[in-house]
Structure formats: C-alpha cells, structure tokens
Structure 1
Amino acid sequence: MTLAALIPAWSRRACSVALLLVVLIAWPLHAWGAEVLQVRSSSLLQIGDRNRNYTVQLACLEVDPADEQAATEWLKKALPRRRRVNFRPEGVLEGTLLARVTPLGEDQDLSLELADAGLARFTCSAA
C-alpha cells in the first residue's frame, strides 16, 4: 500500500489548498521590501517599508570628513530614490538604527563597497 493511498483525498486537497494560500500570501511580501527614500549623508539613509520610515546609519563605516562629499555622491548614485534594499539591524545609536544595507540583487553591503571604493574605512572585524 502506498502513502498516497493511506491519506484520504480530502486531506491531500486541503493540504494543497493550504500550501497554495501560503505561497500566494507570502510571495508578494518579497516585492514589498524596504526602499530608499533619501540619502542624507555619506552614512545616513531614510528607508521606508510600506507604512514605516527608518533613519538608518550604515554600520561598520567610518568616513573621513575630507571624503564626506565624494562618499555622499557615490552613495546617491548607488542608491537612487525607491531602490529596494535589505537591511540587517546591528544596533541603535542615539535613536538611529545601525544596519548593514544591501541593495536587492547584490551580494556585498554598502559599507564594504564604500570602503572598497576608498571613500571610507570598514570598522567591523568580520564581513
């Protein structure tokens, strides 16, 4: 006797419908990810996700004041308005969320990319 024969047909249909509902509900959530609303400085972003806005400071990043303008311009090019991002909170500093920010579809976070571009110093020991 097979496993399919042991499970009643109505139970298999109910499981299929439940799985379909989970997929239909969860799938659009990926498209509703956080997006960049504004680049405020070389390490400060305004990020929103549907109904909340966050002020996010890039974690593990130290920008020399001499490189502030160039780093801000680089960040504005890398993160145009409405660009979707993932952010992983690292902590809070004076009411500002510290987070590692990665544009959707990319592998490396922005703190590392700014450091690789020579516009900042990456201060965390592990990537």
Structure 2
Amino acid sequence: MRIAILGATNIKHMSLLSHYLNHIDLNINEVDIIYTDKYDIEEHIQGINNYYKYRVDIKEDWSFIKKAIAYYRFRPYAKKILEENHYDFVIVWGSYTGHLFKRFLERSYKDKFILNIRDYFFENNKLIKYRMK
C-alpha cells in the first residue's frame, strides 16, 4: 500500500507522527511525506520513503492574509505529487491542510483519507466549522 502524509507544516510540528508510523507495517507499506518547510532545515524520520519538501519563505511581520497566500502556493505543488503517485491512502495533517485540499481530496481521494486534528482552535470560527463538515 502507498500512503502519503500531507501537511502544510514542518515535520517537527507534526506531533505524534510516530504514533501513526508505529501502526503502519513499514515492511509492506511505502510511506511518503509531502510538507512545507518554513525553517529551511533537513528533517528525516525513520520509515519515510520519499520526502517532498516545499520551501515557504514567511516573515513574522507579515499579515495573516499574506502568510495564507504563501501557504496556498503549496497546494499546486502537493496536488501534482498526489496526482502522479496515485496513493492508496492519505493522512492529512491539521485542519489548515484540510482546508487547502478539501475539494481535491473529496474528488480524488474519496474514502481514502483521514484528517488528523491536534488542535481545534480554528474550528470555533463559523466559516471554518462549516467547511470542515
């Protein structure tokens, strides 16, 4: 089985990623990770076959909108990888990643993805809550 972990964050911020990897038989399954890197660092985890890193250059003093646009540019990069590799299953890391890829996942990976949410902070927003249904 080919599995992708999709996250609009650095690997070091994917809390409990090891929990998922401990439940996947890495001898018979191939796991790739598609992620953003805002620190310009190399990150590696045992069990990952391929790393697809998208560099995001963000300044702390940028507005929320400007930061969101920078992360939105990750979408076509990751979407192309997902389309080319035809994964059997996708683990989507965080609600913000879920928002970026909602339509694509519903169309291309229906019943073949899960959404891992560690923090429900943004779900208090009515628009976000509606989109997450």
User: If the length of structure 1 is used for normalisation, what is the TM-score?
Assistant: 0.22
Based on CA coordinates, which of the two structures has the bigger radius of gyration?
Answer: 1
> Which structure has greater strand proportion?
1
Q: TM-score, normalised by structure 2?
A: 0.22
